[in-house]
A and B are shown apart, each in its own frame.
Chain A
């Protein structure tokens, strides 16, 4: 099990008392989160892998010259934010007006107070040991503040670069003020083909009437990744999450949404297409705490040779949350006999006047459809990718922005080409 003495040592170098306090609280949570590990990671042996590979959770403090990473930034993006091993690289970033992005430590006392009020408050460290470790070991929280009534039409890319032989920690806290609207896309770029572990925790506060679109893409070869996004929504706010995963030794995504107020919307869409020993585990939870909110969740996946797709969706409807509508669905296609799917859609309901449903399926490509296409002269390979991409459209069509949608559709087509179907 984890060496807490080692972890306590890492706190002692912290000079800020508030942060010191937050971190030592996280150490106290470790025991509890470790207890939950067995059930929550039933199919995903992340802890064992990380301990075996790295021996310690500690990160390295060395940072190379940042200019060498310039080429990693796609010229298509209008606005982007770059972090390296968890540290914000301001001079490589391009930030639009209306949004403040700063390290927590660099904020004024006033601004800091706003974030301290929310920072490290809704992360899932009680339930997840990797979030606890992130809380303890991240060196700097990057804060995002979208000011009241700011409408940012252009998507902002968050590019996280991982270049370290030791575990890396990314920590971000977002506050989206009233009536604002903003879109982010986040990805992790690993400099090496294998051997990295990145651990990222985001906390997102959405005030009344705020709208958020959030895209995350994961295509990290043989690296390990832990990603926890924790959302907290106020009245009439709307969140749309789109998660696309293609490769990774082990990827674990936690997406936790709390609908604190009346009339919130939360939409979670995910797609995964994995092969060659990739392991992707999507754990989501939506917690309806008040009346009249709606949540929709749909994850679809294609799992090819040697790969493992894991899905766990939790819907909680609390006693006060009457008139809730919650829907959840997970569909999988298995392409190979040494591929595995473990899915657990779960409902926990304490209110009676609700409409909740979930469904999940595991199946294969429709051979009749395949034959039909081939009988029209389409090659087997093309027919397969046509059917598979058709399978993904339920998810991609949920992206409202046409340009972004096409970008993702193209990305999926490219990934599907590499899949086999015997």
Chain B
């Protein structure tokens, strides 16, 4: 047996850390998808009529369009009637503060390393915790509201800031956008809403933490971020789910509006349960994320570290409408065992002097498949636009695949677009160099992979960056010889 095989055989996969589940009293809708369910969800949330109509419109679009089949993914048939579209920890009344949250829930989040008790938090991150599609509480609300910043659950925003929601909801990702976005628009149960007023620089990181807990449910949350003129916000998103043998569907939508001179930085560390080492179970992560740089000189920057999920299908995108606006996409996607990822971005240059940058690092191990899919489009009037894309793939082992599908469509002669891509494996000489210094193989690979992904990791806020590095090493543990 060769050394490679030996190490593969010795491979005892690090147990998925967040694979436990907690029993709370839940309020769960019956399985199935139809107009009544859509109405039921809307009713449960006490929604205004316009929102129900909006949901129903999305649902009727959903029925008309087909599941996308262009990705490089093998997606098992999903029975949309076998999913429960609403599940919420039961609560008796509207909560006024975090102190009233079920202690069991608070414990759940502490177990995840997320403290919802403000006094315990040192790092100054405000958290909106979403469990099984429903927001259970938001920290630092008062402090933020002093600055006029709204950061609350989506349902709360619908009731308290209906004009803001009505003005922005569905404007970047419309109700007929794509299959999974339609589904989300019809059945989303909660999520986060964030509004940064004119000229305000949000003093702390805002964060949403998602957790799927119940079985046989899908998670369909909706995030809406509006950055008014001259404002700045950095937003983080993290997620975990219990280990279950069945596949669970997560179809989220994130919409971002950046007005004139505003900047939004959106970071994701995606660690949904990836399934076991034989590919059983795991989350189907079909997410639509899109931002529009509406005003001049605005900027949206996406950073993602994707290590979890059985299947990932997501393309955080930027519509660069304002002149001089900037879009960025930094991504590390790691797949191991039987995971599949088809991820990338779209940069649509509409305004003049718009700039975009794409840095994508794919790492495949085991039997996994990892695809980068990107679209850079420069419209006719987008004079002097620039795009630079760098897409690198690293293969660990010879049973995995790495694929690159960049679409580049240019209709403006004064623009410059550059795309580079490489595929390689970890150099044996690099590994030997590390070994010779006394570092063992596991650590050598972790070191090299983290170095390879550094350009992206350094975009993350400090505390997330450390977590992401650990996550990369864990995901790849034991995967190479």
Contacts and interface: CB of A to CB of B under 8 A. Distances in A.
Task: Tell whether any CB of A sits under 8 Å from a CB of B in the complex.
Answer: yes
Contacts of B414: 337, 364
A308 to B, nearest CB: 9
A319 B400 CA distance: 9
Given A337-B413, A360-B408, A364-B414, A348 B419 contact: no
B412 A334 contact: yes
12 contacts: A319-B398, A322-B398, A339-B413, A342-B409, A344-B406, A347-B404, A349-B395, A356-B424, A358-B419, A359-B420, A361-B416, A362-B408
Given A319-B398, A364-B413, A337 B380 contact: yes
Contacts of A322: 398
Contact of A345 (B400, B403, B421): B421
B409 A340 contact: yes
Interface in A340-378: 340-364
A351 B398 contact: yes
Contacts of B413: 334-337, 339, 364
A349 B408 contact: no
Nearest to B426: A352
B416 A352 contact: no
Interface residues of A, number: 37
A71 interface: no
A358 B395 contact: no
A359 B417 CA distance: 11
A21 to B, nearest CB: 33
Nearest to B420: A359
Contacts of A16: none
**Secondary structure call for the A interface:** strand
B423 A354 contact: yes
B436 interface: no
Given A343-B410, A345-B406, A355-B424, 17 more contacts: A334-B410, A334-B412, A337-B411, A339-B411, A340-B411, A345-B421, A347-B403, A348-B401, A350-B401, A352-B395, A354-B395, A354-B425, A355-B423, A359-B420, A360-B406, A362-B416, A364-B414
A357 B392 CA distance: 9
**Secondary structure call for the B interface:** strand
Contacts of A403: none
Nearest to B394: A352
A356 B398 contact: no
B402 A349 contact: yes
Contact of B423 (A319, A337, A340, A347): A347
Interface in B371-396: 378, 380, 393, 395-396
Given A346-B403, A362-B410, A352 B396 contact: yes
A357 B422 contact: yes
A39 interface: yes
A359 B416 contact: no
B397 interface: yes
Contacts of A359: 418-421
Contact of A340 (B404, B406, B410): B410
A357 B423 contact: yes
B320 to A, nearest CB: 16
Contact of B425 (A340, A347, A352, A361): A352
Interface of A: 39, 43, 317, 319, 322, 332, 334-364
Contacts of B421: 345, 347, 357-359
B70 interface: yes
Contacts of B419: 345, 358-361
Contacts of B138: none
Nearest to A357: B422
A348 B380 CA distance: 31
Interface of B: 70, 378, 380, 393, 395-425
6 smallest beta-carbon distances between A and B, as pairs = A352-B395, A334-B413, A356-B423, A347-B404, A352-B425, A362-B417
A358 to B, nearest CB: 5
Contacts of B407: 342, 344
Contacts of B380: 337-338
Nearest to A345: B406
A116 to B, nearest CB: 36
A363 B409 contact: no
Nearest to B409: A342
Nearest to B72: A348
Contacts of A43: 409
A360 B410 CA distance: 12
A31 B397 CA distance: 37
Contacts of A341: 408-411
A296 to B, nearest CB: 15
A247 B418 CA distance: 26
A225 to B, nearest CB: 23
B424 A354 contact: yes
Contacts of B398: 319, 322, 350-353
B422 to A, nearest CB: 4
Contacts of A361: 416-419
A43 B419 CA distance: 19
A349 B409 contact: no
A291 to B, nearest CB: 12
A319 B399 CA distance: 7
Contacts of A352: 395-398, 400, 425
Given A349-B395, A355-B424, A360-B419, A337 B412 contact: yes
Contacts of B404: 345-348, 358
A53 B380 CA distance: 29
Nearest to B408: A343
A249 to B, nearest CB: 20
A360 B419 CA distance: 5
Contacts of A353: 398, 425
Contacts of A347: 393, 402-404, 421, 423
Contacts of B411: 337-341
Nearest to A316: B403
Given A362-B416, A363-B417, A342 B402 contact: no
Scoring B380, B403, B421 by chain A CB atoms within 10 A of each residue's CB, the highest score goes to: B421
A343 B404 CA distance: 13
A338 B425 CA distance: 42
B406 A346 contact: yes
